[in-house]
Structure 1
Amino acid sequence: MRDYIQPDPWSIIEEGFDKDRVKASESIFSIGNGHMGQRANFEESYSGETFQGSYIAGVYYPDKTRVGWWKNGYPENFAKVLNAPNWIGIGVAVNGEILDLNSCKEVTDFRRELNMKEGWYSRSFDAVLPKDVVVHVKVVRFLSLDLDEVGAIRFEVTSIDADAEVVFRPYLDSGIRNEDSNWDDQFWETTEVASHISSEESQAFIESHTLKTNFKVCTFMESQLYLNGGQIDDKPSEEKKDLKVAHEYVQSVKKGETLALHKFGGYTVSRNHDASELVEAAKTALKKATEMGFDALLEQQKQVWAKIWETADIAIEGDVKAQQGIRFNIFQLNQTYLGKDSRLNIGPKGFTGEKYGGSTYWDTEAYCLPFYMATKSQEVARNLLKYRYYHLDKAIENAQKLGFVNGAALYPMVTMNGEESHNEWEITFEEIHRNGAIAFAIYNYVRYTGDYSYIPEMGLEVLIGISRFWHQRANFSEPKGQYVILGVTGPNEYENNVSNNWYTNYIAKWCIDYTLQQLENVKDGFPEDYDRIIGKTQLTGNVTDYWREVSENLYLPYSKKHQVYLQQDGFLDKELVNVEDLPAAQRPINQKWSWDRILRSPFIKQADVLQGFYFFEDHFSTEELERHFDFYEPFTVHESSLSPCVHAIQAAKLGRMDQAYRLYLRTSRLDLDDYNKEVEEGLHITSMAGTWMSIVEGFGGMRMVDDELSFTPRIPEQWTSYSFKVNFRNRILKVTVGKIETEFVFEGNEGMAIQVNGERVVLRPGKPERV
């Protein structure tokens, strides 16, 4: 665990330069705007250890799968988010010496800040170069949320002790590679490097395209020079190479004067423009940005973020680290996905690293959807569901490759375009529970928004494909006299190739039951859609009878001795050692133990049975939850980023606020404090939505009961109060929880009923109601 981030309610702050922290900070201080993102790499040269990364939403490469032993059914490719051409680079030299923090004699007053309230990243320091030149440097960078193809950098150099010659060398570079390339392939091909310098502008463009997927991208830049705040009209010289273009500005500055470069850059992509018009689109974007100027564009950025925080913020009084943690999570979620484009989704690392390929996992449906439903419009959440509907044909194709027939659909564990693109056997073929999370997301969306139209328009077709899969995946066991599901991996990836994983079997049963119910609902309420869907899917009554038989007779492993559902068959055959008996030196076990040892242990990477109790809380009593929580929590090592949030919610429901608070801190500061010792690889974006759930669903106790919002508010001892807002069916409700009472205020045109601690309360617009 690292602990160098300074506590602050609205900013992430690092003070002091430490080369050993550079890669971790590059992740933590990452910025994005939904269209693109980048790690917090230095703009100037850095010869120390660094992980350079810039990424464009939806642009990927199908890297050929690399495994030791090929098995039939393996995906041919592992789709990966691409490290895109670099536009942030600015070479800096003072009196002929290159500015490089790795080789400076001394670096003092180093400070980074990620201002989450206003959406910008800054860095400042004093540096003594090898020949004793002393400079003060301040850099501000942001990616515009409004002009989302554009980012802006203001790079200032002040000569501290003498007059100096300062050189700025802004450049574009397409000669980049992914660190996680399976075969060290070149993912990009550069087709054109161009520069345009006139008395009005200094622009450069690199046109390139991805191999195989053929995404065409124009990387662009334009720079302006300022001395002591006044613009200088000097034209730069230029240098063009096969993969790089640079402009060079040389300026004499007096002692104490400040030379600043304003650089605007970014990407235009063939996903959004005609491929032949990318340079013209880039020029249009640059024109808008430069006409506004850096300061006006930054002011616009602050206003857009202020609008986001109006509904997304969670305010905590009395605990700065807890406050900083939740805002960091909310900030990164909004940097990654804003819901504008239903072709896009949320990668587990967002724009902060290459691990997990930047692809879509079941995390979106299980963890992210509630956050986006409640903090944005329902159209944003609907776009996430559309994404899966548009990939239904691919899900059917994925199932066909594994031997399933008649329209059975297996959604991929990892995907960019609907095809399965993961190459670990136990994940690709066995973590079939992801099908259940997608069906649950449809149910969750309809339950929360009241928008049933998605089901007859799109969702029922998805549910039919998923139910067909579950029916075919189960087989009848003569010894048990019931249907079983063999050879799976549940959410707990520390148990592979098991039979009758309870969570998988339970969600399969629920999926079939829910689909049968929706078939009846659509038949009664939307007969034209029903006829269209039945005609398209060729679904017959005999098939649904077979589904019902599987659902009603699906085996769910249970221990009468312990009175708990079992993770899977054979779980009690393990040596049941508690996590508290593990020496600290052996943690995390995924970095210390062999996989064989992990698989034979009882240790749980993340909630498995308890994940089912989280989804289907109203299927079980509080006493059953408590019994299962007490049985499984002692075996849980929480080495998945998705684990602590579910446990925090359930601990809060059980009134165990100290434990809930500890788990909340772990999920909210997972990356800030680097609990799993891996933050340099990138942030855990999708689990950040679980942090939001820990407060809203955990401490706030928000649920849907009888088509109304329900709350059972609790507050950690460490907090004075906390507040959050939710957008419920186009009405904004603010909830403020204190030590003594909870206040509810909502914006709307008519009254709204909610439930608080089991009692019905009618709210009137704008009038606070205290309970």
Structure 2
Amino acid sequence: MNQDYIIPNNWSILEEGFDAERVEASESLFSLGNGAMGQRANFEENYSGSTFQGSYIAGIYYPDKTKVGWWKNGYPEYFAKVLNAPNWIGINVSINGEALDLHTCKDVKDYRREFNMKEGWYERSFTAIMPNELEVEVKVLRFLSLKRNELGAIKYELTVKNVDANIIFEPYLDSGITNEDANWEEKFWKTLEINTIADRGFITAKTFKTEFHATAFMQSRLFQDDREVKTGFSKIQENEKISFRYEVAAKKGEKVALQKFGGYVTDMNHQREQLVFAANNVLENAVSAGFETLLEEQKQAWAEIWEMADIAIQGDVKAQQGIRFNIFQLNQTYLGTDARLNIGPKGFTGEKYGGSTYWDTEAYCIPFYMATKNHEVARNLLTYRYNHLGRAIENAEKLGFTNGAALYPMVTMNGEESHNEWEITFEEIHRNGAMVVAIKRYVDYTGDFSYIPEKGLEVMIAIARFWQQRANYSTQKDKFVILGVTGPNEYENNVNNNWYTNYIAKWCIDYCVASIEKVKQEFASDYSRIIEKTGLSAEEVSNWKEVSEKMYFPYSEEYKVFLQQDNFLDKEIVPVSELSRAQRPINQKWSWDRILRSCYIKQADVLQGFYFFEDHFSKAELEKHFDFYEPLTVHESSLSPCVHSIQAAALGRMEQAYEFYLRTSRLDLDDYNNEVKEGCHITSMAGTWMSIVEGFGGMRIVDGKLSFNPRIPNGWEGYSFKLNFRDQILKINVAPEKTSFTLEGHDPLEIHVNGNVVKVEPSVPLTV
């Protein structure tokens, strides 16, 4: 049973009515972020019920020692953990001596949460009957500043409705925090010092092992009926906590408010000895600007993002809310301004999966950022991997590969592999191919081939070396085979000749060889530098070509399809439609042994190859493979529905495409997999964008030009989106009977629409 308490709305995520059972799920769904830091939607006041506390700083991690039953040679020594950072949002509240705690209140009425995605703020309001019979009305507004990304702000308003009251606010900083998912229940932070400057508090802490230093900070202002009150305060200092105590006498019905400014500065951006000084400057500027000015800045910053990134849907509120939630979370997680950062699978919404990047970034996220921001953002994501090339070579060396062969990590923070499930870490090697797919997508979309001679070719050579060494010649088949792998379908481990892995290996070699030749012809100095740096020889390239030309691909003559792996047809082939709902999801109901022996597919595998290399196959071949594999797919990966939605749309099956779209866009809002309390699926959200742009809009790059084959789901009155294509902004507006294109730029743009070439003139709408 999916959750259904999120109220449909075009621009907001809304929850009404307090239910302790869904607190943790809502903490994920209402999470805040600004690219540099983020936090789950934990209550500011103390809550003694079940809660998952989480505040996070981008780029800061801890190498949590691997927890395995027994050690295998080559295992990573640690799993990179996104760290729960010192808590700055806390505000303990007591009224007439009684602590405000929604878990112990006699009644909670008019409870409401709103996340206004258009303007980038989160609000929570309620009326509570406390154990001492006080009736208290509370409204809290919070945001993390996009413009000042080290800063967050809270406005906590409180009114006692039935009596005069003595109200105590205790805003605090707390560095005595732990991770929800620590392997060994260790603490990851060491508190170094606590400082105060007047009514400003600072806690400086460092991470164990990785030695990141961060200073959390706060300052508060008190208001009565919207007039600032200059009152005294007392300071309470503990080993890992600093609080300020503000006491105010309030008349019945009088509104009292505490404004709290807080956040983090880190040694990623400041000198360690200057952290408190830097934090003090952030507070000085924030208080000087004031809460309302900061909020207006926030609204403007989000307006600028939505101007380019929005997808507007007419006639389907749930679909509209879903896509905007996905676009909103992607922008909260990563804004592209820092090449050291990447897109974590949970962003700032939870700790599961650890790491700051998976292959999800290259396979799913780059198209979104490339089309909705400037192309430097996508280049930064590619540069992130180039900067980690040395570590990728080390990762391969640990497994016995030589000569500069590279294996990019399954999970990483700094380029070093930090994932520790053998069948994933060392068998799911297809991720190497996604690195090269991302480079080609960037070149095709932007027209900027220069990235390849500057950086990309070195990555491609190292990956081609890996594939040549990882394949081995089979005398029985007179072909090269790749043994002992896990494809994108993680419900098959240690299989031989996963078709997708073999195909992407061949393609990587071919694309690298073609790129070497182009660089040799057109970028002679770069070519010389790369050949000298890599030691590449003609003989080695010849060896690659032999592997590519003789790569083996399992195929069924009976079904006329490529097989997911050599022995796929040894399985009992029973479609998912014949599987009882009581058995789903199988990853929560079945043993791993049973899953591995079943025919059920977690996410697109062969079809992932048909998605990446669509132009290599005919529409008839896609249809044949889609009809064979999709009925066996349980879609228990967040990355699954989007690929199937795009392919269903390409086949003209719009009802099915829409069902998959709705599933990917509302995966977290409706909690399809009953796990949203662990955090949202950030990277798959980019797949939601692709479902509309590439699926319904049919957007492709053909011969260096944008191409569209627009379709529209039944019941939709229309939808529109924008693309930043080679520094020109094209708006596409699709209606049931026509599609219009509007160009913001200086030069005409030729595009393909339904197979025909048309020219769009600047500022002159073209209707097809």
Instruction: Give the TM-score taking structure 2 as reference length.
Output: 1.00
Residues 96-107 of structure 1 correspond to what in structure 2 (within 5 A)?
A: 96-107=97-108
> What is the aligned partner in structure 2 of residue 246 from structure 1?
243
Q: Distance in 1 between matches of 2:232 and 2:200?
A: 11
Q: Distance in 2 between matches of 1:289 and 1:504?
A: 52
Q: Distance in 2 between matches of 1:35 and 1:184?
A: 26
Q: Distance in 2 between matches of 1:361 and 1:670?
A: 19
> What is the aligned partner in structure 2 of residue 4 from structure 1?
5
For residues 526-578 of structure 1, what are the alpha-carbon distances to aligned partners after superposition, in whole Å with 9 as ceiling and x for unaligned?
00000000000000110000000000000011111111000000000000010
> What is the aligned partner in structure 2 of residue 636 from structure 1?
633
For residues 678-701 of structure 1, what are the alpha-carbon distances to aligned partners after superposition, in whole Å with 9 as ceiling and x for unaligned?
000000000000000000000000
Q: Distance in 2 between matches of 1:180 and 1:754?
A: 49
> What is the aligned partner in structure 2 of residue 455 from structure 1?
452
C-alpha contact (below 8 Å) 2:341/2:356 kept by paired residues: no
> What is the aligned partner in structure 2 of residue 44 from structure 1?
45
> Structure 2: which amino acid aligns with 1:153?
I
Residues 56-67 of structure 1 correspond to what in structure 2 (within 5 A)?
A: 56-67=57-68
Following TM superposition, the consecutive aligned residue runs of length 4 or more in structure 1 with deviations greater than 2 angstroms are none
From 300, 305, 313, give the equivalent of 2:302: 305
Q: Does 1:176 align with 2:173?
A: no
From 246, 249, 257, give the equivalent of 1:260: 257
> Structure 1: which amino acid aligns with 2:43?
F
Q: Distance in 2 between matches of 1:659 and 1:688?
A: 19
> Structure 1: which amino acid aligns with 2:64?
D
Q: Distance in 2 between matches of 1:353 and 1:266?
A: 18
Q: Distance in 2 between matches of 1:39 and 1:191?
A: 25
Q: Distance in 2 between matches of 1:280 and 1:648?
A: 51
Residues 209-228 of structure 1 correspond to what in structure 2 (within 5 A)?
A: 209-228=206-225
From 439, 444, 448, give the equivalent of 2:441: 444
From 657, 661, 664, give the equivalent of 1:664: 661
SS at 2:593 equivalent: helix
SS at 1:357 equivalent: coil
Residues 120-199 of structure 1 correspond to what in structure 2 (within 5 A)?
A: 120-197=121-198
C-alpha contact (below 8 Å) 1:457/1:529 kept by paired residues: yes
> What is the aligned partner in structure 2 of residue 16 from structure 1?
17
> What is the aligned partner in structure 2 of residue 726 from structure 1?
723
> What is the aligned partner in structure 2 of residue 385 from structure 1?
382
Q: Distance in 2 between matches of 1:133 and 1:97?
A: 9
In the TM superposition, what is the alpha-carbon distance from 1:750 to its structure 2 partner?
1.1
In the TM superposition, what is the alpha-carbon distance from 1:162 to its structure 2 partner?
1.3
Q: What value does the CA root-mean-square deviation take over the aligned residues?
A: 0.5
Q: Does 1:535 align with 2:532?
A: yes
Q: Distance in 2 between matches of 1:480 and 1:427?
A: 27
From 687, 690, 693, give the equivalent of 1:690: 687
> What is the aligned partner in structure 2 of residue 397 from structure 1?
394
> Structure 2: which amino acid aligns with 1:498?
V
For residues 40-61 of structure 1, what are the alpha-carbon distances to aligned partners after superposition, in whole Å with 9 as ceiling and x for unaligned?
0000000000000000000000
Q: Distance in 1 between matches of 2:424 and 2:201?
A: 44
From 330, 342, 345, give the equivalent of 1:348: 345
From 260, 284, 307, give the equivalent of 2:281: 284
Q: Distance in 2 between matches of 1:652 and 1:247?
A: 58
Q: Does 1:419 align with 2:420?
A: no
> What is the aligned partner in structure 1 of residue 570 from structure 2?
573
Q: Which runs of 5+ in 1 are unaligned?
A: none
C-alpha contact (below 8 Å) 1:732/1:747 kept by paired residues: yes
C-alpha contact (below 8 Å) 1:349/1:358 kept by paired residues: no
> What is the aligned partner in structure 2 of residue 294 from structure 1?
291
In the TM superposition, what is the alpha-carbon distance from 1:417 to its structure 2 partner?
0.2
SS at 1:476 equivalent: strand
SS at 2:290 equivalent: helix
Q: Distance in 1 between matches of 2:451 and 2:360?
A: 21
Residues 69-80 of structure 1 correspond to what in structure 2 (within 5 A)?
A: 69-80=70-81
C-alpha contact (below 8 Å) 1:350/1:358 kept by paired residues: no
In the TM superposition, what is the alpha-carbon distance from 1:196 to its structure 2 partner?
2.2
> Structure 1: which amino acid aligns with 2:683?
T
C-alpha contact (below 8 Å) 1:88/1:265 kept by paired residues: yes
Q: Distance in 2 between matches of 1:533 and 1:286?
A: 48
> What is the aligned partner in structure 1 of residue 111 from structure 2?
110
> Structure 2: which amino acid aligns with 1:277?
Q
Q: Which runs of 5+ in 2 are unaligned?
A: none
In the TM superposition, what is the alpha-carbon distance from 1:235 to its structure 2 partner?
2.6
For residues 373-416 of structure 1, what are the alpha-carbon distances to aligned partners after superposition, in whole Å with 9 as ceiling and x for unaligned?
00000000000000000000000000000000000000000000
In the TM superposition, what is the alpha-carbon distance from 1:358 to its structure 2 partner?
3.8
C-alpha contact (below 8 Å) 1:193/1:241 kept by paired residues: no
Residues 605-620 of structure 1 correspond to what in structure 2 (within 5 A)?
A: 605-620=602-617
For residues 732-766 of structure 1, what are the alpha-carbon distances to aligned partners after superposition, in whole Å with 9 as ceiling and x for unaligned?
10000001100100101010000000000100001
SS at 2:353 equivalent: helix
> Structure 2: which amino acid aligns with 1:440?
V
In the TM superposition, what is the alpha-carbon distance from 1:184 to its structure 2 partner?
1.1
Q: Does 1:493 align with 2:490?
A: yes
C-alpha contact (below 8 Å) 1:122/1:138 kept by paired residues: yes
Q: Distance in 2 between matches of 1:498 and 1:293?
A: 60
Q: Distance in 2 between matches of 1:561 and 1:359?
A: 43
C-alpha contact (below 8 Å) 1:671/1:684 kept by paired residues: yes
From 467, 470, 484, give the equivalent of 1:470: 467
In the TM superposition, what is the alpha-carbon distance from 1:165 to its structure 2 partner?
0.8
In the TM superposition, what is the alpha-carbon distance from 1:288 to its structure 2 partner?
1.3
C-alpha contact (below 8 Å) 1:196/1:204 kept by paired residues: yes
SS at 1:305 equivalent: helix
Identity of aligned residues (%): 68
Q: Distance in 1 between matches of 2:126 and 2:171?
A: 20
In the TM superposition, what is the alpha-carbon distance from 1:622 to its structure 2 partner?
0.3
Q: Distance in 1 between matches of 2:186 and 2:103?
A: 29
For residues 680-723 of structure 1, what are the alpha-carbon distances to aligned partners after superposition, in whole Å with 9 as ceiling and x for unaligned?
00000000000000000000000000100000000000211000
Q: Distance in 2 between matches of 1:744 and 1:359?
A: 37
> What is the aligned partner in structure 2 of residue 269 from structure 1?
266
> Structure 2: which amino acid aligns with 1:32?
G
SS at 2:139 equivalent: strand
Q: Distance in 1 between matches of 2:90 and 2:136?
A: 19
Q: Does 1:526 align with 2:523?
A: yes
Q: Distance in 2 between matches of 1:246 and 1:461?
A: 52
Q: Distance in 2 between matches of 1:264 and 1:358?
A: 29
> Structure 2: which amino acid aligns with 1:666?
R
For residues 278-312 of structure 1, what are the alpha-carbon distances to aligned partners after superposition, in whole Å with 9 as ceiling and x for unaligned?
00110111111111111100000000000000010
For residues 57-90 of structure 1, what are the alpha-carbon distances to aligned partners after superposition, in whole Å with 9 as ceiling and x for unaligned?
0000000001012110000011111000000000
> Structure 2: which amino acid aligns with 1:316?
I
C-alpha contact (below 8 Å) 2:59/2:356 kept by paired residues: no
C-alpha contact (below 8 Å) 2:386/2:456 kept by paired residues: yes
Q: Distance in 2 between matches of 1:470 and 1:605?
A: 25
SS at 1:372 equivalent: helix
In the TM superposition, what is the alpha-carbon distance from 1:185 to its structure 2 partner?
1.2
In the TM superposition, what is the alpha-carbon distance from 1:2 to its structure 2 partner?
0.4
Q: Distance in 1 between matches of 2:356 and 2:192?
A: 27
In the TM superposition, what is the alpha-carbon distance from 1:359 to its structure 2 partner?
2.5
| Further displaced range: 436-445 or 352-361 | 352-361
